[in-house]
Structure 1
Amino acid sequence: MGAVCALMALLATLLTGCQGPGGDGGKDGRLTTGASPAPARTSGFGAVFLAVDECSSFGTTSFTEVGCRSERAAAKVVARHDGTAGDGPACPGTTDFVLHISEQSPVSDEDGDGAIPQGYACMRNLQPPHPGDPGGGGGPRTIQGDCVYSLGDGQVRETACDGTGRKRPEYKVTEAVTRRDRCPLSTALYVQLGGERPVGCARPV
């Protein structure tokens, strides 16, 4: 989870220059997970490493591709893009975490076409918990239904709405709109979400 811009409804001036840390918290202010997963490595399954609907295992030092029926399978790919997460398309809103795939040399290429390009896979856990769900307190993006707490200096961080996170929620994003003036009058905080509706209208909880 990372910090995103937040604007108090009663402030007369707009705070600028705030965005989440690198990776998924780039130009559109999406939240990032607290700790980046270790780089994924190939394991010989499928023509494309970690293609959509393929699965990975969890490991302490790396994530490997496994068959989705394997007892080692822990998460499924819901979207897969080349390049870096900061420059590429955003993951779906309910993504639980992002795997960053390092470029591989021909020696480790599983299909013999020369190389595996740098990319990233948007992952969804096969079993709960799902931190990317609305109110779940995690995932690479802040979405409608999520809760946040203030860090000061116009920044907020996501936390679980049920109070089980390290910090208790202070605000809940009840709506996502295209412009601040489309938020309800009861809005106390504006949260930068990114996407087609980049403004989150948040109320105290």
Structure 2
Amino acid sequence: MRRSGAVGAGCVLPVLLVALLTGCRPGVPGSAAPASEPQLAGYGAVFLGVDECSSFGTTRVTEVPCTGERAAARVIARYDGRPEDGPLCPPTTDFVLHISPQRAGGGEAGDVAIPRGYACMRKLEPPHPGDPGGGGGPRTVPGDCVYRAGRGQVRETACDGSGRSEPEYRVTRAVRDRAECPPSTALYVEIGGSLPVGCARRL
């Protein structure tokens, strides 16, 4: 049995210069589209801080009131730096916004208005691709389904068959080592975190 890396299905769109939308994984290349400059006025000390909301859109996403008509998703965790260097987003994350550093006052050194970071987002309305079996999100968790997408690669897809690809395996458990997987395991999936191995059974 071969160990396969979990790579989410989806696309990459720049929002606040780059946004990883549903199903994408940090470091996985994808398509890109132009982005607007973020609006700074009227917001708190942290742009898109925890419990703040972002708007709809693929080429223009801004911070908006969570009770407003334009609100699309809420920040459930926010970290400085790059996702590959920092903590994992919570398992219920639907997508991740990558926020590029923005400088105020003409871009003088040290005059940083928004530092580089990333926001873990949960949509305000269903469907939630980050939920187990939802077919997306930045993390693979027990309950998710995957299909083979090439040599040594798997991608997430919805367990109910509503995705573009039919599910072939379901992750039943997350463990520290492959030896801890049950006998029914047909595929080992790299999922990261403190329990980095996903035990998947064939559907």
- Where on the TM-score scale, by shorter chain, does this alignment land: which range? 0.7 to 0.9
Q: Which runs of 4+ in 1 moved over 3 A?
A: none
Q: In the TM superposition, what is the alpha-carbon distance from 1:45 to its structure 2 partner?
A: 2.3
Task: Return 5+ residue gaps in structure 2 as ranges.
Answer: 17-37
Task: Return 5+ residue gaps in structure 1 as ranges.
Answer: 1-7, 20-28
Match of 2:87 in 1: 89
CA gap of 1:160–1:194, structure 2 versus 1, over 3 A, is: same
Q: Is the 8 A contact 1:149 1:169 kept in 2?
A: yes
Match of 1:183 among 181, 184, 188: 181
Match of 1:34 among 1, 6, 10: 10
Report the aligned-residue RMSD. 2.0
Match of 1:24 in 2: none
Question: Is 1:128 the counterpart of 2:104 in the alignment?
Answer: no
Question: Is 1:204 the counterpart of 2:202 in the alignment?
Answer: yes
Q: Quote the Cα distance in structure 2 between the aligned partners of 1:185 and 1:95.
A: 30
CA gap of 1:115–1:45, structure 2 versus 1, over 3 A, is: closer
Match of 1:100 in 2: 98
CA gap of 1:102–1:203, structure 2 versus 1, over 3 A, is: same
* Partner SS state of residue 152, structure 1: coil
The number of residue pairs the alignment matches comes to 178
Q: In the TM superposition, what is the alpha-carbon distance from 1:88 to its structure 2 partner?
A: 1.3
Q: Quote the Cα distance in structure 2 between the aligned partners of 1:101 and 1:157.
A: 25
State the AA in 2 paired with 1:37.
L
Could you report, residue by residue, the CA deviation over 1:41-100 in whole angstroms, capped at 9, with x for unpaired residues?
234322210000000101231210001111111100001011111211111111000001
Compute the TM-score of the two structures, normalised by the length of structure 2: 0.81
CA gap of 1:42–1:89, structure 2 versus 1, over 3 A, is: farther
Compute the TM-score of the two structures, normalised by the length of structure 1: 0.81
State the AA in 2 paired with 1:166.
R
Could you report, residue by residue, the CA deviation over 1:95-124 in whole angstroms, capped at 9, with x for unpaired residues?
000001111111499xxx742111110000
Q: Identity of aligned pairs, percent?
A: 65
Question: Is 1:57 the counterpart of 2:55 in the alignment?
Answer: yes
Q: Is the 8 A contact 2:9 2:155 kept in 1?
A: no
